Amino acid sequence: MRTVKVYQEAWPLHTPFVISRGTRSEAVVVVVELEEDGVKGVGECTPYPRYGESDASVLAQITTVLAELERGMTRAGLQEALPPGAARNAIDSALWDLEARQKHTTISGLAAVELPEMITTAQTVTIAAPEQMAASAALLWEKGARLLKVKLDDRLITERMVAIRAAVPEAILIVDANESWRGDGLAARCQLLADLNVAMLEQPLPAGQDEALANFIHPLPVCADESCHTRSSLATLAGRYEMVNIKLDKTGGLTEALLLAKSAREQGFDVMLGCMLCTSRAIAAALPLAAKVRFADLDGPTWLAVDVEPGLNFVTGKLYP
| Cα–Cα distance, 12 to 27 (Å, whole number) | 6
Going residue by residue from 128 to 167, which x/- string records binding to Mg ion, judged by CB under 5 A? ----------------------------------------
With contacts defined by CB under 5 A, name the span among 9-17, 97-105, 142-150, 217-225 that binds Mg ion. 217-225
Element (H, E) at 79: helix 75-81
Number of residues near Mg ion (by CB under 5 A): 3
Q: Which of 99, 225, 242, 299 binds Mg ion (CB under 5 A)?
A: 225
- Quick check: 153 and 189 in contact, CB under 8 A? no
Site mask for Mg ion (CB under 5 A), range 163-182, x = bound: -------------x------
Q: Is 99 in the site for Mg ion (CB under 5 A)?
A: no
- By 3-state DSSP, what share of the chain in percent is helix, strand and coil, each rounded to 5? 40, 25, 35
C-alpha 223/C-alpha 228 separation (Å) is: 9
Q: How far is CA 225 from CA 53, 130, 154, 194, 274, in A?
A: 17, 24, 17, 20, 9
Let me know: does 276 contact 299? Beta carbons within 8 Å. no
Q: Which is nearer to Mg ion, 97 or 176 (CB)?
A: 176
Catalytic center residues: 151, 247
Between CA 229 and CA 308 the distance in angstroms is 27
Q: Which residues of 97-122 are buried (b: 16+ CB within 10 A; e: fewer)?
A: bbbbbeeeebbbebbebebeeebbbb
CB neighbourhood size of 11 (10 A): 20
Minimum separation from the CB atom of position 90 to Mg ion (A): 20
Q: Which is nearer to Mg ion, 42 or 244 (CB)?
A: 244
Q: Residues 127, 178, 27, 102: is their CA dihedral positive or negative?
A: negative
- Closest distance to Mg ion from the beta carbon of 117 (Å): 27
Of 62 and 200, the one with the shorter C-beta distance to Mg ion is: 200
Please report how many Cα atoms fall inside a 13 Å half-sphere around the Cα of residue 296, on the Cβ side: 24
Residue number with CB closer to Mg ion (33 or 176): 176
Which helix (H) or strand (E) is 286 found in, with range? helix 280-290
Residue 301: closest CA among 92, 316, 108: 316
Of 53 and 202, nearer to Mg ion (C-beta) is 202
For Mg ion, the closer of residues 108 and 230 by Cβ is 230
Residue nearest to Mg ion (CB): 225
Smallest distance from the beta carbon of 320 to Mg ion, in angstroms? 24
User: Between residue 186 and residue 215, which ones bind Mg ion under the rule CB under 5 A?
Assistant: 202
Site string for Mg ion, 104-133 (x = CB under 5 A): ------------------------------
Least spacing, CB of residue 179 vs Mg ion, in Å: 9
- In this structure, the chain runs to a length of 321
To Mg ion, the closest distance from the beta carbon of 5 in angstroms equals: 31
Closest distance to Mg ion from the beta carbon of 59 (Å): 25
Pairing of strands 147-151, 119-120: unpaired
Interface with Mg ion (CB under 5 A): 176, 202, 225
